[in-house]
């Protein structure tokens, strides 16, 4: 059945009498000019134009299939929408604040192009379910882009870890030398963190990919819509199960910002290490000049600006998460104007995470470790003390006794200026007669890292095996 629409007549209004075309009939005076600007969102939500047009094309297609629109009306609407998208992308579209948002700007332009048929596009939907659909479509696409950048960064880490699987550096706790590790093993710790971020984003995407279109303003619609059609056309996994929740849910945006906050926290920690490692005091790595800047008065300076900025931008993403949580915390069902404030925090969180990942994905493959500086640092601080304790345990002594014995040996080393590996056998045996010549096999840096030859350990063989597992994970 084809549904009929009466065009109706309205009294012409002068420009200063005009209210918003979508809801002005109930009002007796135009909106105050400042209020119009204050309540408008078009300055920031116009970035949703592709998704708005995509959703409208699917909606028009569905309306034609169920007989609400004719095929000619559908084709006219779709052609008009394609034309509008071309205008926008050519920079020829006139965005108007008085039309409030991206939805009404596009609809008004469509009506100007194709006439009364353009007004039929909004049949069976509301701006409430329209914007909720647009944001989900947009965020779904952005998550996919972010996942690509995340994979680029993880691939760079795997490449570096494989290349430097046997390069020895000090491992730290409390920022004090603890035990020797390999540079490749250290880099793979960041790979693991980013793998969890990847899992969270993929899981978040599942809940983003549910379609609210068809919820209309809050209660659904009386028109014979078929939501499964639009769901399939737009590539959603499922439709929302409740119209009230469909238009007012912003959990998916909050969840994304939570996942983004964790990812930024990981990159902030990574940034802190990069900043430390590039300092003269550590001198562990070299960053290419293209990722650094200089000083306006100190000609010797080479500042690690990219890691510092990523570290600084982390708080920005945390703030957007708090903004959205606070925005939603006391809203009654269903849609409220408060939700206009959901887009800018979400947009900023997405942009910030994506750009930080891109910067790191470009930078990490170009890092050069200073192998000798790392090794020299690992030789300081008695990093093989635990290895000596483990050696004595294997000789049959209780660990607590071994801990005390090695503590005395370290004290002697501090006083004499000798590392454990630099002491003679006679010097070591004054602390335990269980120490034999083979002790030097475990006191060397290579002996220490090679001894940790198990899954998750720092042995070069395990690093290379972890790289293979990492590549398999990314390929899956």
Beta bridge partners of 303: 293
- Provide φ and ψ at 232, rounded to 5°: -70, -45
* Cβ contact 128:216 at 8 Å: yes
Distance CA 22, CA 203 (A): 37
* Cβ contact 413:357 at 8 Å: no
**DSSP codes of every residue in 148-202:** HHHHHHHHHHHHHHHHTTT-EEEEEETTEEEEEEEHHHHHHHHHHHHHHHHHHHH
Q: Is 295 a catalytic residue?
A: yes
Is beta strand 285-286 parallel, antiparallel or unpaired with respect to 238-239?
unpaired
Of 174, 296, 424, 476, which one is the catalytic site residue? 174
Question: Buried b vs exposed e over 385-397: b needs ≥16 C-beta within 10 Å?
Answer: bbbbbbbbeeeeb
**If you compute the radius of gyration of the chain from its CA atoms, what whole number of angstroms results?**
31
Is beta strand 210-211 parallel, antiparallel or unpaired with respect to 238-239?
parallel
Q: Is 186 a catalytic residue?
A: no
* Cβ contact 289:303 at 8 Å: no
Of 86, 279, 295, 416, which one is the catalytic site residue? 295
Distance CA 239, CA 230 (A): 9
Beta bridge partners of 182: 168
Question: How far lies 208's CA from each of 211, 264, 327, in Å?
Answer: 8, 20, 19
Distance CA 30, CA 24 (A): 8
Distance CA 194, CA 20 (A): 47
* Cβ contact 121:60 at 8 Å: yes
Which residues have a catalytic role annotated?
Answer: 174, 295
């Amino acid at each position: 059945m084809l549904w009929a629409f009466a065009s109706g007549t309205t009294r012409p209004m002068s420009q200063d009498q005009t209210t918003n075309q979508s809801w002005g009939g109930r009002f007796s005076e135009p909106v105050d000019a400042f209020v119009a600007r204050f309540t408008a969102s078009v300055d920031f939500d116009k970035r949703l134009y592709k998704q708005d047009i995509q959703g409208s094309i699917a909606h028009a297609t569905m309306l034609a299939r169920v007989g609400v629109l004719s095929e000619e009306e559908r084709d006219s609407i779709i052609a008009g929408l394609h034309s509008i998208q071309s205008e926008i992308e050519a920079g020829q579209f006139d965005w108007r604040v008085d039309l409030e948002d991206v939805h009404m700007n596009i609809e008004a332009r469509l009506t100007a192009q194709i006439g009364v048929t353009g007004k039929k596009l909004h049949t069976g939907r509301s701006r409430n379910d329209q914007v909720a659909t647009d944001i989900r479509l947009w965020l779904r696409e952005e998550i996919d882009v972010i996942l690509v950048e995340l994979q680029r960064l993880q691939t760079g880490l795997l490449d570096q870890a494989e290349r430097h699987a046997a390069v020895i550096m000090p491992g730290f706790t409390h920022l004090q030398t603890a035990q020797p590790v390999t540079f490749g093993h250290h880099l793979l710790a960041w790979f693991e963190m980013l793998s969890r971020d990847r899992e969270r984003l993929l899981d978040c995407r599942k809940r983003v990919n549910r379609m609210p279109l068809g919820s209309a303003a809050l209660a659904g619609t009386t028109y014979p819509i078929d939501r499964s059609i639009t769901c399939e056309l737009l590539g959603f996994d499922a439709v929302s199960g409740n119209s009230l929740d469909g238009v007012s849910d912003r959990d998916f945006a909050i969840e994304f910002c939570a996942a983004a906050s964790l990812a930024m926290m990981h990159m902030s920690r990574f940034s802190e290490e990069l900043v430390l490692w590039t300092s003269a005091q550590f001198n562990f790595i070299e960053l290419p000049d293209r990722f650094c800047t200089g000083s306006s008065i100190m000609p010797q300076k080479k500042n690690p600006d990219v890691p510092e900025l990523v570290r600084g931008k982390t708080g920005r993403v945390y703030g957007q998460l708090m903004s959205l949580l606070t925005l939603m915390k006391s809203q009654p069902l269903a849609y409220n104007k408060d939700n206009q404030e959901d887009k800018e925090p979400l947009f900023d969180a997405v942009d910030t995470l994506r750009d930080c990942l891109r910067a790191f994905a470009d930078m990490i493959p170009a890092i050069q470790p200073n192998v000798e500086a790392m090794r020299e640092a690992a030789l300081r601080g008695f990093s093989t003390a635990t290895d000596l304790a483990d050696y004595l345990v294997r000789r049959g002594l209780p660990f607590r006794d071994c801990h005390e014995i090695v503590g005395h040996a370290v004290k002697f080393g501090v006083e004499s200026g000798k590392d454990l590996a630099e002491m003679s056998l006679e010097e070591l045996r004054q602390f335990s007669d269980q120490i034999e010549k083979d002790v030097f096999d475990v006191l060397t840096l290579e002996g220490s890292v090679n001894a940790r030859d198990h899954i998750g350990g720092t042995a070069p063989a395990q690093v290379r095996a972890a790289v293979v597992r990492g590549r398999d994970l990314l390929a899956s």
